[in-house]
Amino acid sequence: MAKRISRQSQQQQLMQSWEVRAALAIIFIALAYGFISLAIDSGSLLEYTAAILSLWYGLYNAIRAFRLVLAH
């Protein structure tokens, strides 16, 4: 049981590092760019929704990464 708690805390610490947050931000902003390109070509509401959600999550992670850099 102690190993499981330790592993979870290591994963939580990894997710709180600015490098991981910055990588997630870049990935999701790139996904948003792809979805926006597809949405403009097709006009699909589903693709616009995916683009907005990806952009929102990417910006959220970028802000969190910036805050973590400032905290250190």
Query: The whole model's pTM is what?
Result: 0.80
Read off the pLDDT of residues 26-71 as tens digits, 9 standing for 90 and up: 999 999 999 999 999 998 999 999 999 999 999 999 999 999 999 8
Residue range 7-34: mean pLDDT, rounded: 87
Give residue limits of the domains in the chain.
Answer: 18-71
Residue in this structure with the two tokens 């947050």, named with its chain if needed? 21
- pLDDT at 5 (0 to 100): 61
Residue 42 to residue 54: CA distance in whole angstroms: 18
